Amino acid sequence: MAYRKTPAVRDRLDAAREHLIERATAVVADVGWANASVTTVAAAAGMSVGSVYQHFASKGALAVEVFRRASGREVGVVGEVLAHGTGDPVERLALGVGVFARRALENRGLAYALLAAPAEPAVGRERLEFRRRYRALFAAVVREGVAAGLLPAQDADVTAAALTGAIGEVLVDPLADHGEGSADRLVAELVAMSLRCAGAPPVAASPDPEGPS
Amino acid sequence: MAYRKTPAVRDRLDAAREHLIERATAVVADVGWANASVTTVAAAAGMSVGSVYQHFASKGALAVEVFRRASGREVGVVGEVLAHGTGDPVERLALGVGVFARRALENRGLAYALLAAPAEPAVGRERLEFRRRYRALFAAVVREGVAAGLLPAQDADVTAAALTGAIGEVLVDPLADHGEGSADRLVAELVAMSLRCAGAPPVAASPDPEGPS
DNA sequence: GTCTATAGAATGATAGAC
DNA sequence: GTCTATCATTCTATAGAC
Which residue ranges make up each domain of chain B? Answer: 60-198
Residue B48, CB, strand C, below 7 Å: yes
B15 touches strand C (CB under 7 A): no
Q: Look up residue B199 and give its DSSP letter.
A: T
CB B138 within 8 A of CB B163: yes
Q: Which chain A residues touch B125 with a CB distance below 8 Å? A: 118
Residue range B160-177, pLDDT digits in tens: 999 999 999 999 876 555
Residue B212: which of A127, A152, A186 has the nearest Cβ? A152
pLDDT in tens, A1-15: 445 556 666 667 678
Tell me: pLDDT of B199 over 60. yes
Q: Helix A7-35 vs helix A38-45: angle between axes, to the nearest 10 degrees?
A: 130
Q: How far is the CA of A126 from the C1' of D5 (A)?
A: 26
CB–CB contact B118 A122 (8 Å): yes
Of B116, B197, B210, the CB nearest to A196: B197
| pTM of the full structure | 0.88
Which pLDDT score, from 0 to 100, does residue A14 have?
A: 74
CATH architecture designation of domain B60-198 = Orthogonal Bundle (1.10)
d(C-alpha B72, C-alpha B173), whole Å? 23
Task: Answer yes or no: do A213 and B169 touch at CB < 8 A.
Answer: no
pLDDT of A8 reads 61
Q: How would residue B24 be classed by pLDDT, with cut points 50, 70 and 90?
A: very high
- Residue A40's alpha-carbon distances to A44, B89, B96, in angstroms, are 6, 50, 45
Q: Chain-wide mean pLDDT for chain B? A: 90
Q: What pLDDT shows up at residue A209?
A: 43
C-alpha pair distances (Å), A116 with each of A34, A55, A119, A212: 13, 27, 8, 33
**Chain A residues with beta carbon closer than 8 angstroms to that of B119:** 121, 124
Q: Which residue's CA is nearest to the C1' of nucleotide C3? A: B3
3-state SS assignment for residue B87:
coil
CB contact under 8 A, B165 and A161: no
Query: For residue B11, how many other CB atoms are within 10 A of its CB?
Result: 11
**Residue–nucleotide distance: A163 CA to D1 C1' (Å):** 47
CA of B12: nearest nucleotide by C1' is C5
Count of CB pairs separated by less than 8 Å, A with B: 135
pLDDT tens digits, residue range B52-83?
Answer: 999 999 999 999 999 999 999 999 999 999 99
Q: Give per-residue pLDDT as tens, A69-102.
A: 999 999 999 999 999 999 999 999 999 999 999 9
pLDDT at A176 over 70: no
* Per-residue confidence (pLDDT) for residue A11, from 0 to 100: 67
Q: Is A177's pLDDT higher than 80?
A: no
Chain A contact set for B157 (CB, 8 A): 173
Residue of A nearest to B157 (CA): A170
C-alpha B50/C-alpha A75 separation (Å) is 46
Which chain A residue's Cα is nearest to B154?
A189
pLDDT at A54: 84
Give the mean model confidence (pLDDT) for residues A36-64: 88
Per residue in B121-137, pLDDT (tens digit) is: 999 999 999 999 999 99
Per-residue pLDDT tens digits for A110-133:
999 999 999 988 898 899 999 999
**Amino acid B5 CA to nucleotide C4 C1' distance, rounded Å:** 9
Quick one: which H or E segment has residue B139? Answer: helix B121-147
CB A71 within 8 A of CB A114: yes
Q: Is the pLDDT of residue B9 over 90?
A: no
**Please, what is the average pLDDT of chain A?**
87
Spatial neighbors of A108 by CB under 8 A, at least 6 apart, are A174, A175, A179
For an interface test with A, which of B35, B100, B129, B155 has the most A Cβ atoms less than 10 Å from its Cβ? Answer: B155
Tell me how far apart the alpha carbons of residues B49 and A53 are, in angstroms, rounded to a whole number.
34
pLDDT tens per residue, range B138-163: 999 999 999 999 999 999 999 999 99
Residue type, B207: P
- Are B137 and B82 in contact by the 8 Å Cβ rule? The answer is yes
Distances (CA, A) of B151 to B89, B93, B101: 9, 11, 22
pLDDT bucket at B13, cuts 50 / 70 / 90: confident
Q: How confident is the model at residue A173 (pLDDT cuts 50, 70, 90)?
A: confident
pLDDT value for B178:
54
In whole angstroms, give the CA distance from residue B130 to residue B108. 17
Chain B residue closest to A153 (CA)? B212
Q: Which residues of the protein have their beta carbon within 7 Å of strand D?
A: B 3-6, 8-9, 35-40, 49-50, 53, 58-60
Interatomic separation, CA of residue B198 and C1' of nucleotide D16, rounded (Å): 61
A33 against A203, higher pLDDT: A33
Q: How many CB atoms lie within 10 A of CB B98?
A: 17
